[in-house]
Amino acid sequence: MALDRALVIGILLFNNMTSLDFAGPGTYLEYLGVIGQKVEIHTIGEKVGPLQPSNLTPMYASVSMDNAPRAWDILIVPGGLGATPFVQNQELVDYVRGAAENATDVLTVCTGGRIMGATGLLDGKNATTNKMEFSKIASEYPAVNWIEHARWVVEGKYWTSSGVSAGLDLGHAYVAAKFGEEAATKIQRTLEYVANKDPSNDPFAPQLL
Amino acid sequence: MALDRALVIGILLFNNMTSLDFAGPGTYLEYLGVIGQKVEIHTIGEKVGPLQPSNLTPMYASVSMDNAPRAWDILIVPGGLGATPFVQNQELVDYVRGAAENATDVLTVCTGGRIMGATGLLDGKNATTNKMEFSKIASEYPAVNWIEHARWVVEGKYWTSSGVSAGLDLGHAYVAAKFGEEAATKIQRTLEYVANKDPSNDPFAPQLL
Protein backbone atom coordinates (compact mmCIF):
# COMPACT_ATOMS: atom_id res chain seq x y z
CA MET A 1 0.00 0.00 0.00
CA ALA A 2 3.06 2.25 0.09
CA LEU A 3 3.15 5.19 -2.33
CA ASP A 4 5.97 5.38 -4.88
CA ARG A 5 7.01 8.76 -3.53
CA ALA A 6 7.62 10.13 -0.04
CA LEU A 7 4.54 11.18 1.92
CA VAL A 8 4.82 14.92 2.52
CA ILE A 9 3.87 15.68 6.12
CA GLY A 10 3.59 19.11 7.74
CA ILE A 11 3.49 19.64 11.49
CA LEU A 12 2.21 23.01 12.67
CA LEU A 13 4.41 24.54 15.39
CA PHE A 14 3.75 27.37 17.83
CA ASN A 15 4.95 28.46 21.22
CA ASN A 16 3.61 26.59 24.22
CA MET A 17 2.52 23.56 22.28
CA THR A 18 2.57 20.09 23.77
CA SER A 19 5.32 17.94 22.28
CA LEU A 20 3.38 14.69 22.63
CA ASP A 21 0.58 16.20 20.53
CA PHE A 22 2.69 16.03 17.42
CA ALA A 23 4.81 13.04 18.46
CA GLY A 24 1.73 10.83 18.85
CA PRO A 25 0.61 10.64 15.21
CA GLY A 26 4.04 11.89 14.12
CA THR A 27 5.84 8.82 15.44
CA TYR A 28 3.37 6.43 13.79
CA LEU A 29 4.12 8.26 10.54
CA GLU A 30 7.89 8.38 11.17
CA TYR A 31 7.80 4.59 11.39
CA LEU A 32 6.09 4.01 8.03
CA GLY A 33 9.56 2.99 6.90
CA VAL A 34 8.76 -0.47 8.34
CA ILE A 35 6.46 -1.00 5.36
CA GLY A 36 8.76 0.74 2.91
CA GLN A 37 6.84 4.02 2.84
CA LYS A 38 9.17 7.01 2.76
CA VAL A 39 8.17 10.16 4.60
CA GLU A 40 9.34 13.74 4.37
CA ILE A 41 8.48 15.64 7.52
CA HIS A 42 8.45 19.43 7.72
CA THR A 43 7.73 21.63 10.70
CA ILE A 44 5.83 24.83 9.95
CA GLY A 45 6.39 28.09 11.81
CA GLU A 46 5.73 31.76 11.19
CA LYS A 47 9.34 31.85 10.01
CA VAL A 48 12.10 29.31 9.53
CA GLY A 49 14.27 28.82 12.61
CA PRO A 50 13.99 28.10 16.30
CA LEU A 51 10.68 29.05 17.87
CA GLN A 52 11.04 32.29 19.77
CA PRO A 53 9.88 32.25 22.46
CA SER A 54 9.85 28.54 23.19
CA ASN A 55 8.69 28.02 26.75
CA LEU A 56 8.83 24.24 26.74
CA THR A 57 10.83 21.83 24.57
CA PRO A 58 12.86 23.85 22.03
CA MET A 59 11.40 23.44 18.54
CA TYR A 60 12.57 24.27 15.05
CA ALA A 61 10.47 25.32 12.08
CA SER A 62 11.99 23.92 8.90
CA VAL A 63 9.59 25.86 6.67
CA SER A 64 7.73 29.13 7.09
CA MET A 65 4.08 29.68 6.33
CA ASP A 66 5.18 31.75 3.32
CA ASN A 67 7.38 29.09 1.72
CA ALA A 68 5.74 25.85 2.86
CA PRO A 69 4.66 23.21 0.36
CA ARG A 70 1.18 24.06 -0.91
CA ALA A 71 -0.39 20.65 -0.69
CA TRP A 72 0.48 18.47 2.30
CA ASP A 73 -0.38 14.81 2.14
CA ILE A 74 -0.91 15.06 5.87
CA LEU A 75 -1.19 18.21 7.96
CA ILE A 76 -0.82 17.66 11.72
CA VAL A 77 -2.37 20.35 13.92
CA PRO A 78 -1.27 19.87 17.54
CA GLY A 79 -2.58 21.70 20.58
CA GLY A 80 -1.36 22.94 23.91
CA LEU A 81 -1.75 26.15 25.90
CA GLY A 82 -0.45 28.06 22.90
CA ALA A 83 -3.50 27.17 20.80
CA THR A 84 -5.48 29.94 22.53
CA PRO A 85 -3.20 32.86 21.55
CA PHE A 86 -2.74 31.21 18.14
CA VAL A 87 -6.41 31.54 17.20
CA GLN A 88 -6.39 35.20 18.16
CA ASN A 89 -4.02 35.87 15.27
CA GLN A 90 -6.06 35.99 12.07
CA GLU A 91 -3.04 35.59 9.77
CA LEU A 92 -2.05 32.34 11.47
CA VAL A 93 -5.60 31.00 11.29
CA ASP A 94 -5.76 31.98 7.61
CA TYR A 95 -2.59 30.00 6.94
CA VAL A 96 -4.02 26.90 8.62
CA ARG A 97 -7.29 27.27 6.69
CA GLY A 98 -5.48 27.37 3.35
CA ALA A 99 -3.11 24.55 4.25
CA ALA A 100 -5.95 22.37 5.53
CA GLU A 101 -8.09 23.02 2.45
CA ASN A 102 -5.22 21.95 0.20
CA ALA A 103 -4.11 18.98 2.34
CA THR A 104 -5.18 15.45 1.50
CA ASP A 105 -5.76 14.70 5.19
CA VAL A 106 -5.76 16.80 8.34
CA LEU A 107 -5.05 15.29 11.77
CA THR A 108 -5.71 17.27 14.94
CA VAL A 109 -4.70 16.36 18.46
CA CYS A 110 -6.08 17.87 21.66
CA THR A 111 -6.70 21.63 21.44
CA GLY A 112 -5.52 21.48 17.84
CA GLY A 113 -9.31 21.15 17.52
CA ARG A 114 -9.60 24.75 18.69
CA ILE A 115 -7.31 25.83 15.86
CA MET A 116 -9.26 23.87 13.27
CA GLY A 117 -12.50 25.18 14.81
CA ALA A 118 -11.24 28.71 14.22
CA THR A 119 -10.72 28.01 10.51
CA GLY A 120 -14.43 27.29 10.05
CA LEU A 121 -13.59 24.15 8.06
CA LEU A 122 -15.17 21.88 10.66
CA ASP A 123 -18.51 23.72 10.58
CA GLY A 124 -21.34 21.23 10.15
CA LYS A 125 -18.92 18.35 10.65
CA ASN A 126 -18.37 15.83 13.45
CA ALA A 127 -15.20 16.41 15.44
CA THR A 128 -13.74 15.98 18.90
CA THR A 129 -11.13 17.66 21.04
CA ASN A 130 -9.47 17.72 24.47
CA LYS A 131 -11.88 16.93 27.27
CA MET A 132 -10.83 19.52 29.85
CA GLU A 133 -11.33 22.32 27.33
CA PHE A 134 -14.25 20.62 25.60
CA SER A 135 -17.11 22.80 26.83
CA LYS A 136 -15.18 25.98 26.19
CA ILE A 137 -14.16 24.99 22.67
CA ALA A 138 -17.69 23.77 21.89
CA SER A 139 -19.10 27.15 22.95
CA GLU A 140 -16.48 29.01 20.92
CA TYR A 141 -17.25 27.09 17.71
CA PRO A 142 -20.91 26.08 17.99
CA ALA A 143 -21.31 25.32 14.27
CA VAL A 144 -19.12 22.22 14.70
CA ASN A 145 -20.86 19.02 15.81
CA TRP A 146 -18.50 18.30 18.71
CA ILE A 147 -18.68 14.68 19.87
CA GLU A 148 -18.13 14.40 23.62
CA HIS A 149 -17.59 10.68 23.93
CA ALA A 150 -14.98 9.75 21.32
CA ARG A 151 -11.29 8.97 21.46
CA TRP A 152 -11.15 10.19 17.87
CA VAL A 153 -13.57 11.12 15.09
CA VAL A 154 -13.16 10.75 11.32
CA GLU A 155 -15.18 12.92 9.00
CA GLY A 156 -13.96 12.82 5.45
CA LYS A 157 -10.40 14.05 5.42
CA TYR A 158 -10.64 15.51 8.93
CA TRP A 159 -9.32 13.23 11.67
CA THR A 160 -9.75 14.86 15.08
CA SER A 161 -8.74 13.37 18.42
CA SER A 162 -9.18 13.96 22.12
CA GLY A 163 -6.46 15.12 24.51
CA VAL A 164 -2.73 14.63 23.94
CA SER A 165 -2.18 10.86 24.14
CA ALA A 166 -5.28 10.26 21.99
CA GLY A 167 -3.04 11.32 19.13
CA LEU A 168 -1.30 7.94 19.36
CA ASP A 169 -4.59 6.11 18.85
CA LEU A 170 -5.42 8.51 16.04
CA GLY A 171 -2.07 7.66 14.47
CA HIS A 172 -2.81 3.96 14.75
CA ALA A 173 -6.28 4.30 13.23
CA TYR A 174 -5.00 6.53 10.44
CA VAL A 175 -2.18 4.16 9.46
CA ALA A 176 -4.57 1.18 9.64
CA ALA A 177 -7.09 2.93 7.36
CA LYS A 178 -4.56 4.16 4.81
CA PHE A 179 -1.85 1.47 4.85
CA GLY A 180 -3.64 -1.54 6.31
CA GLU A 181 -4.07 -3.05 9.76
CA GLU A 182 -0.90 -5.11 9.33
CA ALA A 183 1.19 -1.97 8.89
CA ALA A 184 -0.39 -0.38 11.97
CA THR A 185 0.21 -3.55 14.00
CA LYS A 186 3.84 -3.68 12.91
CA ILE A 187 4.38 -0.09 13.99
CA GLN A 188 2.51 -0.63 17.25
CA ARG A 189 4.83 -3.51 18.13
CA THR A 190 7.86 -1.42 17.25
CA LEU A 191 6.57 1.39 19.46
CA GLU A 192 5.57 -1.13 22.17
CA TYR A 193 2.25 0.68 22.29
CA VAL A 194 -1.01 -0.91 23.40
CA ALA A 195 -3.22 0.91 20.93
CA ASN A 196 -6.81 1.74 21.76
CA LYS A 197 -8.50 0.70 18.52
CA ASP A 198 -12.06 1.54 19.49
CA PRO A 199 -12.93 5.22 19.03
CA SER A 200 -15.82 4.86 21.50
CA ASN A 201 -13.43 3.70 24.23
CA ASP A 202 -12.89 7.14 25.71
CA PRO A 203 -12.11 6.84 29.43
CA PHE A 204 -11.69 10.56 29.89
CA ALA A 205 -15.07 11.66 28.54
CA PRO A 206 -16.83 11.15 31.90
CA GLN A 207 -14.84 14.01 33.42
CA LEU A 208 -16.94 16.29 31.25
CA LEU A 209 -20.08 15.32 33.11
CA MET B 1 6.64 18.87 46.54
CA ALA B 2 7.58 21.49 43.94
CA LEU B 3 11.10 22.92 44.09
CA ASP B 4 11.56 26.67 44.57
CA ARG B 5 13.50 26.88 41.34
CA ALA B 6 12.94 25.57 37.83
CA LEU B 7 13.87 21.94 37.21
CA VAL B 8 16.68 21.93 34.65
CA ILE B 9 16.01 19.22 32.08
CA GLY B 10 18.27 18.19 29.21
CA ILE B 11 17.09 16.11 26.26
CA LEU B 12 19.80 14.47 24.18
CA LEU B 13 19.24 14.92 20.43
CA PHE B 14 20.74 13.11 17.47
CA ASN B 15 19.81 12.33 13.90
CA ASN B 16 17.29 9.55 13.32
CA MET B 17 15.91 9.60 16.83
CA THR B 18 12.30 8.78 17.58
CA SER B 19 10.33 11.86 18.58
CA LEU B 20 8.00 9.97 20.95
CA ASP B 21 11.06 8.75 22.87
CA PHE B 22 11.64 12.20 24.28
CA ALA B 23 8.04 13.37 24.18
CA GLY B 24 6.92 10.51 26.46
CA PRO B 25 8.70 11.51 29.66
CA GLY B 26 9.20 15.01 28.25
CA THR B 27 5.49 15.77 28.15
CA TYR B 28 4.95 14.52 31.71
CA LEU B 29 7.71 16.93 32.74
CA GLU B 30 6.39 19.78 30.56
CA TYR B 31 3.12 19.50 32.46
CA LEU B 32 4.63 19.84 35.94
CA GLY B 33 3.24 23.36 35.78
CA VAL B 34 -0.08 21.85 36.93
CA ILE B 35 1.48 21.48 40.39
CA GLY B 36 3.35 24.77 40.19
CA GLN B 37 6.72 23.24 39.35
CA LYS B 38 8.59 25.33 36.80
CA VAL B 39 10.73 23.56 34.23
CA GLU B 40 13.51 24.74 31.97
CA ILE B 41 13.98 22.36 29.05
CA HIS B 42 17.11 22.31 26.91
CA THR B 43 17.86 20.15 23.90
CA ILE B 44 21.47 19.02 23.57
CA GLY B 45 23.21 18.55 20.23
CA GLU B 46 26.79 18.41 19.01
CA LYS B 47 26.32 22.07 18.21
CA VAL B 48 23.54 24.63 18.69
CA GLY B 49 21.12 24.80 15.79
CA PRO B 50 18.96 22.57 13.65
CA LEU B 51 20.07 18.97 13.47
CA GLN B 52 21.84 18.32 10.19
CA PRO B 53 20.95 15.91 8.81
CA SER B 54 17.52 15.40 10.27
CA ASN B 55 15.84 12.52 8.50
CA LEU B 56 12.61 12.57 10.48
CA THR B 57 10.95 15.37 12.43
CA PRO B 58 13.16 18.48 12.27
CA MET B 59 14.80 19.09 15.65
CA TYR B 60 16.70 21.97 17.22
CA ALA B 61 19.54 21.80 19.72
CA SER B 62 19.30 24.77 22.09
CA VAL B 63 22.66 23.95 23.71
CA SER B 64 25.78 22.22 22.49
CA MET B 65 27.69 19.56 24.36
CA ASP B 66 30.43 22.15 24.94
CA ASN B 67 28.24 24.80 26.52
CA ALA B 68 25.49 22.74 28.15
CA PRO B 69 24.69 23.12 31.85
CA ARG B 70 27.00 20.86 33.83
CA ALA B 71 24.51 19.34 36.20
CA TRP B 72 21.09 18.44 34.83
CA ASP B 73 18.32 17.73 37.31
CA ILE B 74 17.03 15.30 34.70
CA LEU B 75 18.84 14.02 31.65
CA ILE B 76 16.61 12.30 29.06
CA VAL B 77 18.38 9.87 26.72
CA PRO B 78 16.04 8.86 23.89
CA GLY B 79 16.63 6.15 21.30
CA GLY B 80 15.83 5.45 17.69
CA LEU B 81 17.78 4.11 14.73
CA GLY B 82 20.34 6.88 15.29
CA ALA B 83 21.42 5.38 18.62
CA THR B 84 23.60 2.84 16.77
CA PRO B 85 25.82 5.33 14.90
CA PHE B 86 25.78 7.52 18.05
CA VAL B 87 27.58 4.92 20.17
CA GLN B 88 30.25 4.51 17.50
CA ASN B 89 31.39 8.06 18.17
CA GLN B 90 33.50 8.06 21.34
CA GLU B 91 33.29 11.83 21.86
CA LEU B 92 29.51 11.69 21.94
CA VAL B 93 29.52 8.77 24.36
CA ASP B 94 32.02 10.62 26.55
CA TYR B 95 29.69 13.60 26.69
CA VAL B 96 26.76 11.45 27.77
CA ARG B 97 28.90 9.70 30.41
CA GLY B 98 29.92 13.03 31.96
CA ALA B 99 26.42 14.49 31.76
CA ALA B 100 24.88 11.36 33.28
CA GLU B 101 27.44 11.23 36.09
CA ASN B 102 26.65 14.82 37.01
CA ALA B 103 22.88 14.57 36.56
CA THR B 104 20.58 14.02 39.52
CA ASP B 105 18.48 11.56 37.54
CA VAL B 106 18.86 9.93 34.14
CA LEU B 107 15.85 8.65 32.16
CA THR B 108 16.32 6.45 29.12
CA VAL B 109 13.70 5.39 26.62
CA CYS B 110 13.97 2.55 24.12
CA THR B 111 17.43 2.23 22.54
CA GLY B 112 18.54 5.14 24.68
CA GLY B 113 19.53 2.11 26.78
CA ARG B 114 22.15 1.30 24.14
CA ILE B 115 23.63 4.77 24.57
CA MET B 116 23.71 4.46 28.36
CA GLY B 117 25.10 0.93 27.98
CA ALA B 118 27.96 2.38 25.96
CA THR B 119 28.86 4.78 28.79
CA GLY B 120 29.57 1.87 31.14
CA LEU B 121 27.56 3.59 33.88
CA LEU B 122 24.95 0.82 33.91
CA ASP B 123 27.55 -1.92 34.44
CA GLY B 124 26.49 -4.14 37.34
CA LYS B 125 23.10 -2.42 37.47
CA ASN B 126 19.57 -3.49 36.55
CA ALA B 127 18.22 -1.86 33.41
CA THR B 128 15.88 -2.49 30.50
CA THR B 129 15.58 -1.38 26.90
CA ASN B 130 13.63 -1.81 23.66
CA LYS B 131 12.42 -5.38 23.15
CA MET B 132 13.16 -5.81 19.44
CA GLU B 133 16.79 -4.80 19.97
CA PHE B 134 16.99 -6.39 23.42
CA SER B 135 19.14 -9.43 22.62
CA LYS B 136 21.53 -7.40 20.53
CA ILE B 137 21.95 -4.68 23.15
CA ALA B 138 22.32 -7.27 25.92
CA SER B 139 25.15 -8.95 23.98
CA GLU B 140 26.83 -5.60 23.29
CA TYR B 141 26.86 -4.59 26.96
CA PRO B 142 26.97 -7.86 28.92
CA ALA B 143 28.10 -6.23 32.18
CA VAL B 144 24.64 -4.67 32.57
CA ASN B 145 21.96 -6.78 34.25
CA TRP B 146 19.37 -6.36 31.50
CA ILE B 147 15.83 -7.20 32.68
CA GLU B 148 13.77 -8.74 29.88
CA HIS B 149 10.34 -8.52 31.41
CA ALA B 150 9.92 -4.95 32.63
CA ARG B 151 8.10 -1.93 31.31
CA TRP B 152 10.68 0.13 33.19
CA VAL B 153 13.41 -0.40 35.77
CA VAL B 154 14.65 1.94 38.49
CA GLU B 155 18.11 1.52 39.91
CA GLY B 156 19.23 4.45 41.97
CA LYS B 157 19.23 7.50 39.76
CA TYR B 158 18.98 5.45 36.56
CA TRP B 159 15.44 5.05 35.23
CA THR B 160 15.44 2.91 32.09
CA SER B 161 12.40 1.95 30.04
CA SER B 162 11.38 -0.39 27.24
CA GLY B 163 10.49 0.66 23.71
CA VAL B 164 9.21 4.11 22.71
CA SER B 165 5.77 4.38 24.34
CA ALA B 166 7.15 2.90 27.58
CA GLY B 167 8.63 6.35 28.09
CA LEU B 168 5.14 7.62 28.95
CA ASP B 169 4.83 5.08 31.75
CA LEU B 170 8.34 5.93 32.87
CA GLY B 171 7.30 9.59 32.96
CA HIS B 172 4.28 8.73 35.09
CA ALA B 173 6.30 6.61 37.52
CA TYR B 174 9.03 9.24 37.78
CA VAL B 175 6.61 12.10 38.50
CA ALA B 176 4.74 9.91 41.02
CA ALA B 177 7.99 9.05 42.84
CA LYS B 178 9.39 12.57 42.90
CA PHE B 179 6.29 14.78 43.12
CA GLY B 180 3.64 12.42 44.45
CA GLU B 181 0.96 10.20 42.96
CA GLU B 182 -1.53 13.06 42.98
CA ALA B 183 0.67 15.12 40.68
CA ALA B 184 1.13 12.18 38.32
CA THR B 185 -2.62 11.53 38.29
CA LYS B 186 -3.35 15.19 37.55
CA ILE B 187 -0.96 15.13 34.61
CA GLN B 188 -2.29 11.79 33.37
CA ARG B 189 -5.81 13.22 33.27
CA THR B 190 -4.57 16.29 31.44
CA LEU B 191 -2.79 14.09 28.91
CA GLU B 192 -5.83 11.74 28.74
CA TYR B 193 -3.36 8.91 29.15
CA VAL B 194 -4.20 5.53 30.65
CA ALA B 195 -0.90 5.01 32.42
CA ASN B 196 0.51 1.56 32.98
CA LYS B 197 1.56 1.84 36.62
CA ASP B 198 2.92 -1.67 37.04
CA PRO B 199 6.50 -2.09 35.79
CA SER B 200 5.96 -5.87 35.49
CA ASN B 201 3.05 -5.32 33.06
CA ASP B 202 5.14 -5.58 29.92
CA PRO B 203 3.00 -6.91 27.07
CA PHE B 204 5.84 -6.73 24.56
CA ALA B 205 8.38 -8.84 26.45
CA PRO B 206 6.98 -12.15 25.07
CA GLN B 207 8.14 -11.26 21.57
CA LEU B 208 11.66 -11.82 22.88
CA LEU B 209 10.95 -15.47 23.48
Residue A185 with chain B: CB contacts under 8 Å: none
Averaged pLDDT, A31-42: 95
Mean pLDDT of B181-205: 96
Q: Per-residue pLDDT averaged across B94-98, rounded?
A: 97
Q: Which residue of A has its CA nearest to B56?
A: A41
Position B1 confidence tier, pLDDT thresholds 50, 70, 90: low
Judge: A50–B56 Cβ closer than 8 Å, yes or no.
no
| pLDDT computed for residue B209 by the predictor | 56
Q: Torsion angle of alpha carbons A30, A31, A36, A41, nearest 10°?
A: 0
Is B116 a residue whose pLDDT tops 60? yes
Percentage of chain A beyond pLDDT 70 is: 99
Could you tell me the pLDDT band of residue A165, with boundaries at 50, 70 and 90? very high
Q: What is the pLDDT of residue A203?
A: 94
**pLDDT tens track for B42-86:** 999 999 999 988 889 999 999 999 998 879 999 999 999 999 999
Question: Does the pLDDT at position A79 exceed 60?
Answer: yes
pLDDT of residue B152: 98
Average pLDDT over residues A93-112: 98
Q: Is the pLDDT of residue B19 over 70?
A: yes
Q: How far apart are CA A9 and CA A30, in angstroms?
A: 10
Is the pLDDT score of A96 beyond 60? yes
Mean pLDDT of B11-25: 96
Long-range pairs of A128-131 with CB within 8 A, sequence gap ≥ 24: A128/A152, A128/A153, A128/A160, A128/A161, A128/A162, A129/A79, A129/A160, A129/A162, A129/A163, A130/A79, A130/A162, A130/A163, A130/A164, A130/B192, A131/A162, A131/A163, A131/A204, A131/A205, A131/A207, A131/A208, A131/B192
* Per-residue pLDDT at A38: 96
Residue A2: per-residue pLDDT = 80
Looking at residue B172, its pLDDT comes to 98
Q: Residue A60 has what pLDDT?
A: 96
What is the value of ipTM here, to two decimals? Answer: 0.95
- Mean of the per-residue pLDDT values for chain B? 95
- Please compute the mean of the pLDDT values over residues A74-90 and round it to a whole number: 97
- Quote the minimal CA–CA distance from B45 to chain A in Å: 12
Grade residue A209 by pLDDT with cuts at 50, 70 and 90. Answer: low
Contacts of A166 in chain B (CB under 8 A): 192
pLDDT of residue B37: 96
Residue A208 has a pLDDT of: 72
pLDDT reported for residue B52: 86
User: Taking CB atoms and an 8 Å cutoff, what residues of chain B touch A59?
Assistant: 60
Cβ <8 Å between B57 and A41: yes
Chain A residues interacting with chain B (CB cutoff of 8 angstroms)? 11, 18-20, 22-24, 26-27, 30-31, 39, 41-43, 50-51, 54, 56-62, 110, 130-132, 162-166, 168, 189-194, 196, 203-204, 207
User: How many CB contacts within 8 angstroms connect chain A with chain B?
Assistant: 132
